Structure 1
Amino acid sequence: MYAVLDVETTGLFNKDRVIEIAIAHVDGDGRVTGRWETLVNPKRDLGPQELHGIRSADVRKAPTFDQVAGEILHRLRGRIPVAHNLAFDSRLLAHEYLRLGQELPNLLDLGVCTMQWANYFLPESGRSLRDCCLAAGIANERPHAAMSDVLATAELLALYLNSMGPEALWADRAALVRELRWPTLPTGLAKPVCRGAGANEGTDFLARLVDHIPRVPDPPQADTYLSLLDRALLDRHVSAAESDALVEAAARLGIGRPTALELHGGYLRALAAVALADGEVTEEERQDLHRVAALLSLPTHAVGAALQPGPADGPLTTGHEFHLASGDLVVLTGSFAESKQHWADRLEAAGLKVAPNVTKKTVLVVAADPDSMSGKAAKARQYDIPVIGTESLDLVLARIR
């Protein structure tokens, strides 16, 4: 009878995009009878991530809206639409369909907005979903996660239904929604992708390399891979985008898993040689080597072996370490929890120059999310410019020469 929905978006305006949608089917008694959710790849920056908590690592392999538009229609068709602030959800959805050249029926006219009806059923409550849930004793464990908000809204709907007589105040809308004309779009074009799907992609790139291919024949191929690896490890974090780039480079260069492990070992030994150069390895240097070893899927004892004096076991990889220099151009991108000016001041205080746009002269991009899909981040990757998150900035700034 009902289709309870919620969307998370890049912002509040018509130009903004849907990045997560959840729909639950609810019967006339308020029982949930089915549920569906997916992240949506907007092919752009994700907006206020501190609010919705969605990371680019999850969204980058999610379907685009056109790939799930038919599935959404299928799950809404013939049901009374319900949302907490239905005006917002229906408006953002309508504009997504307009981008596809399709027009949705006016969901607001025949839908149920639990926020508006709260004035009737929860007169002492505030209007937000949080306030309504608190007033009704409903737990919403993950606010601003679409399915969690949908299930909380479904509980509100059930409370409203149970507060009425045998027939809901809006029961007449059920027949009307069945007569609405909906666009017809194909379903089954893509599988849903939920939050957390990309959580481990950055750390397991070695596992994605092919086991049995011929050993890389000449150093230039190894140098290309190691140069990319060094840029990925600049902030001691391998993002999902960097993981993909390393896997693609290895496949293109004919580097399989055994060869990659050998190259990774050489890279670690080169870092260890730098740490040993002054005759003393600090605890900070040792911890850094352990971080790198973990990112390279090397065993914990590899650090101890690399720090042992004497001839190296295998080739020593040198000449690849990436450093920043005073005066280098850096670009900021994304919606930061702090202001962009805050980060610009940090960078300039360290001797770097902050530029508005990415060019081939840019040395580094600092993003609110290291997997950012903004235009600036995309251009940086096209130019092989490292993209790092603010969490790693102190580590990177400490290496300025």
Structure 2
Amino acid sequence: MIHTAAARLAETGLRLRAMMGGGETLRQRLVLDDPPPQADIWVHGASVGELVSARIIIEALAGSAQVLVTANSPTGRDMAAGWGLPARLAPLDVPGALGRFLDAARPRLALTVEGEFWPLRSRMLAARGVPQAMIGARISARSAVRWGRLRGLIAPVLGRIEALSAQDAGSEERLRALGLPQAAILPRLDLKLLAPAAIAPPPDDPARDRVWLAASTHEGEDGVILDAWLAARQSCPDLRLILAPRHPRRGDEIATLIAARGLTVARRSGGAESGPVLLADTLGEMSRWYAAAGICFIGGTLTDRGGHTPWEPAAWRCAILHGPHVSNHAEGFAALAQAGAARQLHPQDLGATVARLAADPAQAQRMGHAARAVLDRRAGNPASLIARLRDLANTRDRNDIQGQ
């Protein structure tokens, strides 16, 4: 085939480059270094984002099988290694590298996260009888059009997939149109929601009802938040505010805004744990603040930053408030609003809305429970998917693998 011939030619040039000091990255991608360890399941994700989204499934599989993780980037590889899993850079889609990789790893299942379609990898796995699966699969309308012009490449790749869970209905339909067998389709899962859905929120608590968290705020939002809190305190004098900027390095700037309003500055970076206003200018403690607050304003939505994820506050059963700029997660915010779990506000309405929710904790709790219900419904339950992947990995004995 033309594709295979071109791959062989490219590999020859790459090997020469590697022999002339092409670096550790190229050598590992050509599998010219130490061979990979033997593994039951080969999991591949492009980089950090893909692997993080699938971590719950990867670690569940690793609980009962030997898993080898590959990534296209050193950062993705190193992150997976930090989870305690064997990890290395993925072999390039060229015959020699793939052959050396598969000879050593001898996987029973090849699992790809999200959206990479490698024709030669697919064909060589199939020749060795290795089942292929994808999770969180996605393909944009634009990519589908491009692949549609290369149906001779994409259709056989999709036709060899035995199990695929798409991230959304649109991706699933586009993949079917390009050649994915109907029999391979599994229930859809949004991988990025699995980690939030695994969070166990605290029970409803009157202490949370009077705490408002402004999470991941940006420049231009903190003053608005402080003024809204002061306005809400006119009717709810015991209302507390946790102000957690997206970038803790802005702590001094925000402390100045707090002091300018005649307020005591309590900074988490200085050891403070509570106060009428707590400036949470540290890293790695957002779970603590979500657990403490029943009402959450999502930063990056008053200024045009596109907004941060609504799913973390939803996981903690927070009543969700936000501004008009939500382009980064527009569909999720719309689903939460439809369920009565989130409200879009203009700055001048923020204080009054927070005051009403603090005065009516049952309403805020209903919003929080509705947010969690939307999250759980959209995340789905990965148990059946994990069971199917385990079944695929056990479809053959190692002695039956071809090419050994």
Q: What range is the shorter-chain TM-score in?
A: under 0.3
TM-score scaled by structure 1?
0.25
| Greater RCO (Cα-Cα under 8 Å, separation 6 or more) | 1
Greater share of helix: 2
TM-score scaled by structure 2?
0.25
Computing the radius of gyration from Cα coordinates, the structure with the larger value is 1
